[in-house]
Amino acid sequence: MYALTDDQTFEDLQEIRGQIIEVHPSKDKIPMIVVANKLDLADEERAVSVEEGQTFADGFGAPFIEISARENLGVRDAFETMIRKILESAPDAGMK
């Protein structure tokens, strides 16, 4: 997740993803989604475009979602999407 009002958080997210890929044994099976937060501030303060976020997510086949935690817009969708990604990569997740 990054703040769409702060391009540094977007850059940090790219670095964090790289670190996860380095240490995870199943590099191609890591469930991830890209979430841009602060959609409620997008009109006045957007620093990362929709296209930048979507391109980043597309680069590794992840869904891309913009949300506003403050206004509870898209938050449920983000969680449900992440749960679907986890279950796709590990169908038995949470069954033990």
Q: Within a domain: residue 42?
A: yes
- Above 70 in pLDDT, residue 96? no
Q: Within a domain: residue 23?
A: no
Q: Within a domain: residue 55?
A: yes
CATH number for position 32: 3.40.50.300
CA–chain centroid gap for 4, Å, is 12
Give residue-wise pLDDT tens across range 16-36: 999 999 998 776 778 999 999
Tokens 């703040």: give the residue: 3
Q: Within a domain: residue 96?
A: no
DSSP state of 28: G
Contacts of 41 (CB under 8 A, 6+ apart): 4, 5
Residue 69: the pLDDT is 98
Q: Within the chain, what is the greatest distance between any pair of CA atoms?
A: 47
Give residue-wise pLDDT tens across range 22-77: 998 776 778 999 999 999 999 999 999 999 999 999 999 999 999 999 999 999 99
DSSP state of 49: -
Q: Where in the sequence is the domain holding 77, given as residue range(s)?
A: 2-18+28-89
CA 12/CA 65 separation, integer angstroms: 18
Question: Is this model's pTM higher than 0.75 or not?
Answer: yes
